[in-house]
Amino acid sequence: MKKVKQLMAVLLTAAVLMTAVTACGSGSEGSKQTNTSASTAAGNAQQQDTSKEESGSIPKEPMTLTVAFWDIDQALANAEKDQFIQKVQKDLNVTLKPINITWDDYSQKIQMWAASSQLPDIFSIDAIGTQYYRNWTQQGVVKPLPEDLSKYPTLEKYMSNPDIQALKQDGKLYCVPRGLYDSLDYCAHDRNVWYRWDLAQKAGITKEPETWEEFKSMLTAIVKADPEKKKIGGMTAVNVKQLGGFFWLYSNPAAMSDGSGSDFKWIKEDGKYIPAAFSKNTLPSLENARDMYEKGLIDKDIALVKGQEGYDKFASGKVAALLEVGYDNVSTKMNERWKKLYPDTHMLDSVKRVKYFPATDGTKYHAVFRTFWSESYFSGKIDDKKLDRILMLYDYFLKPETKESYRFGVKDVDYAKEGDKIKTLISLDELKKKQPSLEVIQGLVEFDNQFQYDPNNFTLDPRVVEIGREDMEVVRKETKIPEYQPQLTYVSTPTKDKFTIMDHDFLLNIMMGNKPVGQMWENVKKEYEAKGLSRMIDEVNAKAKEAGIN
């Protein structure tokens, strides 16, 4: 989840340079634009012919694909010496030409390229839910995927995920979402709260907390006892924008969002659909957050946390609990700090993850976002022959044997395999030398975050991998995903297209505020009403009725 943490921070800082894009098209030079129905039909026929010619063999015609992906210029700087890149390019008879974007400039660059008809063949951005995404799809700036993906069976299966199918507009998909997981259950670990069980025991706690009240009692005991005399605080976070993924679980789990402001969920309440953040169930979560803050169970400096400070404070015993994202970060960030401070004790002998507490309705929910973050788009100017090769590339990357190759290297040279068990024959550092593109290129199509649960994962601490797998079984057996209507998150209406809900902002402000919670919440609702909340609700309900969503 290292990538995801970087990505979620970028979501809130990337500037939007425009709210509309001209209908001038985009793409690589020399390719044909197929905007009319006649040319589209001709292109489809051409693609079918190409499919017959190239199916099951290396394509005969060499092709260069321009690719804009985060830090890809560095990843492909030594492509001629990279055994994985060489295999990809040979198997598909392609040359990947990098067009660099960074975490700081990708949104601006891509929007400028789109406006000036200079988009590369493939580009990556988190555009879902934005106005420029709607403009691109309506004006031919990006090319839709074929409705029939049977030529690319692995990609077809990947795209069948309900979370992805919900993105269809008029029956078409315009992107390949960059997957994190194949199930929303894994979102449970996108918000983990860990606590210092060793300090809890020193403070007299003998039982792991199983409810919100027990959790608060445990934190109270640790803060009051201050076992190591460090003036210990309560809970902190790696990123305060992620607080909603924990606090909304108290009474309104569907209210949580990824921080972008545009991915808010819709629930049915009192006979109509509303944004979940404005449910009547919101107030109890806000009151619970305020209660914890006022009692000193939330680190008083939580709003000021930056970078890796949360991990540092937790490992060093300056706070009793930490909200973070992903079990891979537990291994690479928490555990690495722990080993330096306490080399004789494994972190997991002293630290535990909070259990799944019953909400106010008695149900145990888990965090839920999307199974993907960011998307691959294809220039509207590429012809169907080039689209075919791109889809072959994406299908190739999603195959199990390709994943095995970029994870472990060359079979019987870099690793040995017996059944499902992998035995590495070289170190991770050695593999990175042979495949310098490793950390970047594996995220081109999907982020492969599910690998953190694979017992063959040699990049993470084995005990961390094991407890992650064990906890995922608990998630499946004991918890539920809150009910909401995913299609309405992506529906377009005049008001909704420009509407954002920053639930993490008002949650943090009310939690740390000094006015009555109810009063502050009423003020928040008035502010959003002034922005057109009721008008948006009416428009979305009308759209839902048209679409037959009951």
What is the percentage of the chain residues whose pLDDT exceeds 90? 84
Residues 331 and 414 in one domain: no
Residues 224 and 97 in one domain: no
pTM (two decimals) = 0.84
- Is 113 within a domain? yes
Contacts from 429-437 at CB under 8 Å and sequence distance 24+? 434/82, 434/83, 434/409, 435/82, 435/83, 435/84, 435/85, 435/406, 435/409, 436/75, 436/77, 436/78, 436/81, 436/82, 437/75, 437/76, 437/79, 437/82, 437/84, 437/85
What is the percentage of the chain residues whose pLDDT exceeds 70? 90
Q: Which residues contact 281 (CB under 8 A, 6 or more apart)?
A: 251, 252, 255, 360
Residues 357 and 213 in one domain: yes
- Is 283 within a domain? yes
404 pLDDT exceeds 90?
Answer: yes
- Is 147 within a domain? yes
Q: Determine the average pLDDT of the residues in 426-454.
A: 93
- Is 86 within a domain? yes
Residues 53 and 132 in one domain: yes
| Pair 490, 129: CB distance under 8 Å | yes
Residues 210 and 306 in one domain: yes
* Residue 5 confidence class, pLDDT cut points 50, 70, 90: very low
- Is 469 within a domain? no
Residues 191 and 134 in one domain: no
Q: Is 166 helix (H, G, I), strand (E, B) or coil?
A: coil
Residues 411 and 306 in one domain: no
What pLDDT, in 10s, does the model give residues 132-163?
999 999 999 999 999 999 999 999 999 999 88
Residues 120 and 161 in one domain: yes
CATH of the domain at 169: 3.40.190.10
Main-chain dihedrals φ then ψ at residue 125, nearest 5 degrees: -165, 160
Residues 434 and 501 in one domain: no
Q: Is 11 helix (H, G, I), strand (E, B) or coil?
A: helix
- Is 472 within a domain? no
**What is the spatial distance between Cα 507 and Cα 241, in angstroms, rounded to a whole number?**
9
Give the β-pairing of 372-378 and 122-125: antiparallel
- Domain boundary (447, 467, 490) is at 447
Residues 169 and 48 in one domain: yes
What pLDDT, in 10s, does the model give residues 82-97?
999 999 999 999 999 9
- Is 462 within a domain? no
Residues 29 and 140 in one domain: yes
**Average confidence score pLDDT of the chain:** 90
What pLDDT, in 10s, does the model give residues 17-76?
333 333 333 333 333 333 333 333 333 434 444 433 444 578 999 999 999 999 999 999
What pLDDT, in 10s, does the model give residues 318-344?
999 999 999 999 999 999 999 999 999
- Domain boundary (388, 423, 447) is at 447
Token couple for 364: 């145990």
Tell me which residue range forms the domain holding 174: 2-183+371-447
Main-chain dihedrals φ then ψ at residue 236, nearest 5 degrees: -120, -175
- Domain boundary (398, 426, 447) is at 447
Q: Determine the average pLDDT of the residues in 223-248.
A: 96
- Is 328 within a domain? yes
Please, which residues bridge with residue 311 across strands? none
* Domain count for the chain: 2
Residues 382 and 332 in one domain: no
